């Protein structure tokens, strides 16, 4: 999932300072799971904004709403009525959701979270990066452990000299991805794969070729047909 | 502000602090009537939003009273509540409010006297802080 963390309150206060009525919008997807922008966090942030306005002696009305998903225009349409009542929106969705809202409404839309990375939960309250969306998944040859996301240098052919007792030189808390890969290959009895050299990675599908887009002709075509029928 | 009587909300665990409050009553130990008790099945059920809402609606102070360490009926609800209280303390600091307006306390069911003492001390602390910014503007809602 996409992970995020709430922005510092002071930054959010700064964004909304000129406005008297705002809408805080959450998303029921990834940011709910990583406890950054779901219904509960919308409530907490809204409450904090109200308490801050009271302390500052400032007039502020805060509306709250949480969408099923903020990165689909169909769901964001549901904000139409609320968006018409406010001066600005604070979105607690990931960057995708924030941009979808901003694209649909002609009022200022501010981020309430910092979108971090695509990660998995290690245990309750702890998420760690697992994927960088390189567009050409190589987990099939690395024992299910991603060197792109988990090696600090995204090395393709084994560890660098910074591996110390299985830890990365950047921190004792970071496992060397290539140590993990080697251990996994040994566990699976396929360590001979380690000797197969991986060619220099083409980073164009990873974003090096500009903003990426997926067009599923079958799905996009059926939408066109549906619209034509309507 | 000498005649300031704060409104205080206390979320009390059914299994310990609430029973301790009952014990205080049974033993005729008085504690300030400023403290309004909300009984909860476990303090782990008290979320950060409940503390914020209490403050937003005009409480001058809020505390959560749970079981002693290791005695939670549901294993670690009191530790969860402690984490929530700590989080809200940090939020209040960011807001420029006094973090002392929220607190976590721990009692066993037999600690009626300590419950009353905790209620008195917290009430005194809130009196010394004065009315919360919200209680002055939104009025008393508790």
Distance, in angstroms, between B25 CA and closest chain A CA?
A: 35
Q: What pLDDT does residue A224 have?
A: 62
Domains of chain A listed by start with CATH number: 2-117 (3.40.50), 133-230 (no CATH)
A40 part of contact set with chain B, CB < 8 Å: yes
Confidence bin at B3 (pLDDT 50/70/90): confident
The pLDDT of A83-97, averaged and rounded, is 98
Q: Give pLDDT tens digits for B60-99.
A: 999 999 999 999 999 999 999 999 999 999 999 999 999 9
Q: Which two tokens stand for residue A144?
A: 């299910």
Question: Which ranges in chain A belong to alpha helices (H)?
Answer: 9-16, 30-33, 39-56, 73-76, 80-83, 95-104, 147-150, 177-188, 217-229
Q: Is the pLDDT of residue B11 over 50?
A: yes
Q: Is the pLDDT of residue B141 over 60?
A: no
Q: Which two tokens stand for residue A116?
A: 């971090």
B138: chain A residues, CB-CB within 8 Å: 54
**What percent of chain A has a predicted confidence (pLDDT) above 70?**
96
Q: Is the pLDDT of residue A51 over 60?
A: yes
Q: Is residue B64 within 8 Å of residue B81, measured between CB atoms? A: yes
> What CATH number corresponds to the domain at position B116?
3.40.50
Contact criterion met (CB < 8 Å) for A9 and B55: no
What phi and psi, each to the nearest 5 degrees, are found at residue A146? -90, 115
Q: Which helix (H) or strand (E) holds B61?
A: strand B61-66
Contact criterion met (CB < 8 Å) for B47 and A40: yes
Domain of residue B117, residue span: 8-136
User: What average pLDDT is seen over chain B?
Assistant: 94
| Position B68 in a domain | yes
| Position B2 in a domain | no
Q: Give pLDDT tens digits for A28-48.
A: 999 999 999 999 999 999 999
Contact criterion met (CB < 8 Å) for B52 and A9: no
**What percent of chain B has a predicted confidence (pLDDT) above 90?**
92
The distance from CA A52 to its chain's CA centroid, rounded to whole angstroms, is 28
Q: What pLDDT does residue A226 have?
A: 64
CA pair distance A105, B55, nearest whole angstrom: 33
Instruction: Find residue B35's DSSP bridge partners.
Output: B8
> Best interface-test mutation with B: which of A39, A45, A47 has the largest number of B CBs within 10 A?
A47
Distance, in angstroms, between A90 CA and closest chain B CA?
A: 18
| Position B141 in a domain | no
Distances (CA, A) of A70 to A93, A104, B61: 7, 11, 36
Q: Give pLDDT tens digits for B100-120.
A: 999 999 999 999 999 999 999
Counted domains in chain B:
1
Instruction: Find residue A24's DSSP bridge partners.
Output: A64, A90
Contact criterion met (CB < 8 Å) for A10 and B94: yes
CA pair distance A4, A45, nearest whole angstrom: 15
DSSP type of residue B44: G
| Position B86 in a domain | yes
The pLDDT of A63-76, averaged and rounded, is 98
Confidence bin at A221 (pLDDT 50/70/90): confident
ipTM greater than 0.85: yes
| Position B1 in a domain | no
B48 part of contact set with chain A, CB < 8 Å: yes
What count of Cα atoms within 13 Å lies in the side-chain half-sphere of residue B64?
A: 31
CA pair distance A61, A53, nearest whole angstrom: 9
- Let me know if A84 is exposed, middle or buried by CB neighbors in 10 A (0-12, 13-18, 19+): exposed
């Amino acid at each position: 999932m996409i992970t995020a963390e709430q922005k510092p309150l002071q930054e959010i206060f700064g964004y909304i300072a000129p406005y008297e009525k705002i809408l805080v919008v959450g998303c029921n997807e990834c940011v709910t799971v990583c406890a950054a922008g779901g219904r509960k966090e919308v409530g907490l942030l809204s409450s904090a904004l109200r308490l801050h306005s009271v302390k500052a002696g400032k007039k502020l009305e805060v509306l709250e709403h949480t969408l099923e998903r903020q990165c689909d225009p169909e769901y964001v349409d549901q904000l139409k009525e609320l968006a018409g009542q406010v001066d600005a929106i604070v979105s607690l969705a990931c960057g995708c959701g924030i941009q979808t809202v901003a694209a649909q409404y002609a009022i200022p839309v501010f981020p309430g979270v910092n979108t971090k990375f695509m990660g998995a939960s290690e245990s309750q309250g702890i998420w760690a990066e697992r994927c960088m969306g390189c567009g050409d998944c190589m987990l099939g040859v690395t024992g299910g452990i991603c060197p792109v996301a988990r090696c600090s240098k995204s090395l393709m052919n084994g560890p660098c000299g910074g591996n110390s007792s299985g830890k990365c030189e950047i921190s004792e808390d970071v496992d060397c991805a290539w140590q993990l890969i080697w251990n996994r290959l040994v566990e699976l009895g396929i360590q001979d794969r380690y000797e197969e050299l991986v060619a220099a990675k083409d980073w164009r599908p990873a974003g090096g070729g500009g903003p990426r887009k997926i067009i599923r002709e079958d799905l996009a075509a059926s939408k066109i047909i549906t619209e034509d029928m309507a | 502000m000498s005649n300031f009587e704060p409104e205080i909300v206390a979320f009390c665990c059914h299994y310990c602090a609430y029973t301790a409050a009952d014990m205080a009553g049974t033993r005729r130990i008085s504690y300030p009537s400023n403290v309004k008790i909300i009984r909860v099945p476990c303090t782990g059920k008290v979320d950060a939003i409940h503390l914020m809402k209490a403050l937003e609606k005009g409480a001058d102070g809020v505390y959560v009273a749970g079981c002693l360490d290791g005695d939670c009926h549901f294993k670690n609800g009191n530790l969860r509540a402690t984490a929530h209280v700590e989080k809200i303390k940090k939020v209040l600091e960011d807001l420029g409010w006094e973090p002392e307006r929220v607190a976590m306390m721990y009692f066993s069911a037999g600690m009626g006297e300590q419950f009353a003492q905790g209620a008195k001390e917290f009430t005194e602390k809130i009196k010394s802080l004065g009315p919360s910014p919200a209680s002055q503007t939104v009025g008393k809602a508790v």
